[in-house]
A = this chain, B = another copy of it.
Amino acid sequence: MGIDPADTDGARQPPTIYDVARTAGVSIASVSRVLNGQRNPRAETRERVLRAVAELGFMPDGAARALGGRLKEVIGVVVRRPRWFDDSQFADEDENLQFPDMINRGMEIVAQQHGFDLLVRSVDLNEPDAGRRIFALARKSDGLILHDRVLSPEALDRLSRQIPVVTLAGVPTPTTVNVHGDNESGMRALARHLIVDHSYRTLAYLAGHEGSPDSLSRGEALAAQVAAAGATLLTGEQWRGRYQAAGGARAIERLIAAGTELPRAIVCANDQSAIGVLHALSLHGIAVPGDVAVTGFDDIPVARHLRPRLTSVRQSIQDLGATAFETLYAMIGRGAGGPGDAARGRDIALPTRLVRRQSCGCDPPPAGPASRTVAEAG
């Protein structure tokens, strides 16, 4: 014992294709063919190779495989990481970004069916070289999925010429595809519900971060309905939640501190910021939905556990991820000009639907096992 050098150090190198070829008594080309189902090797060759593979526990090295001409079978996913607010009591909620995490899970499930893995990187846009790091990620991947505006249009253009890129909640470009929820119809339904069913006449839109296409189109859809009904919509810099609980709470705190009169309903750009709004209102003894109605967007899982339960617009969050992957996968042809290229420039909208709960002013559903949730009990 201890004489075999492979035994002395705990970490023996994994076997290579050469080891397999040697023990199988064939060439490395045959090994490769058997493993990749290329041509069709003689039954005996196949068996000998498979036996050797099993015996050695061989698994091809990903880097070598990729360099040899095949795909890396990795897609890069870039998530935007929010800045921390030091004085925030919402740090945990913000760090627990349910929305992007669930999107990623949707991607992963589909990616796995194609043998792909997800290389996830979150970037803080305040870092000076966020762009560089995304390009570095691209060189480890066969394609990239970018959440929510992480790159300047110029950088995105350069990147998407080198490697297939799908954006989520962005805008399509000639070389990229965008996937997003149908903000218009979702917000339209929500706005009508508030204006028509609940007869609210003054509303506010708590926006997401600046330049977010989702935030913009939700805001516009809301504004259109409000205008059509002759109601009043409050917007502007003081109404900006940046998609975070802390941002939503801050906005409300400042408005109250400034003595601003609150609208009858606050329509938040997403659920996360609605959580902060609910919190801030409750601190000031403002009843929801009695004094002010509050709504979200996305319908993340926690929405139904809030108090009051949050009315929101449901997106099939995992579908967003799954669709983004499927789209990207189609674009990852071997080489350029493949079939996938035809798809570029598209803007794919996935359906959304209004979910009425209590925070908009609707009554709790009638008691009964089928419709009760934890939040309603007691």
Contacts and interface: CB of A to CB of B under 8 A. Distances in A.
Contacts of A234: none
A41 interface: no
Interface string A68-91: 000011101000000000000000
Interface in A226-281: 275, 278-279
B308 A306 contact: no
Given A117-B120, A378-B307, A95 B318 contact: yes
A372 B282 contact: yes
A12 interface: yes
Given A279-B373, A307-B377, A62 B59 contact: no
A110 interface: no
Interface in A83-110: 92-93, 95-98, 101-102, 104-105, 108-109
Contacts of A93: 301
A351 B373 CA distance: 34
A303 B202 CA distance: 34
Interface stretch (A135-143, A178-186, A189-197, A213-221): A135-143
B336 A287 contact: no
Interface string A292-304: 0000000011100
Given A318-B95, A374-B307, A135 B57 contact: yes
A16 B302 CA distance: 47
Given A96-B301, A369-B283, A308 B378 contact: yes
A336 B67 contact: no
Nearest to A118: B120
A13 B162 contact: yes
Chain A residues touching B, range: 35 or more
Contact of A67 (B64, B288, B373): B64
A55 interface: no
Contacts of A308: 378
Chain B CB within 10 A, most for which of A63, A73, A118? A63
Chain B CB within 10 A, most for which of A14, A162, A377? A377
A141 to B, nearest CB: 8
B74 A119 contact: yes
A13 B119 CA distance: 21
Contact of A121 (B63, B117, B132, B139): B117
Interface string A321-342: 0000000000000011100010
A271 to B, nearest CB: 12
A73 B101 CA distance: 22
A98 to B, nearest CB: 6
A74 B163 CA distance: 20
A367 to B, nearest CB: 10
A141 B164 CA distance: 23
Interface string A45-67: 00000000000010111111111
Q: Which 8 A-B residue pairings sit nearest by Cβ, starting from the closest?
A: A282-B377, A11-B336, A62-B140, A63-B66, A9-B336, A92-B301, A63-B63, A9-B337
Given A96-B301, A109-B122, 7 more contacts: A59-B139, A63-B63, A97-B105, A282-B372, A302-B305, A305-B306, A305-B307
11 contacts: A10-B175, A12-B336, A14-B162, A61-B139, A67-B67, A101-B101, A108-B122, A117-B137, A117-B140, A275-B374, A305-B306
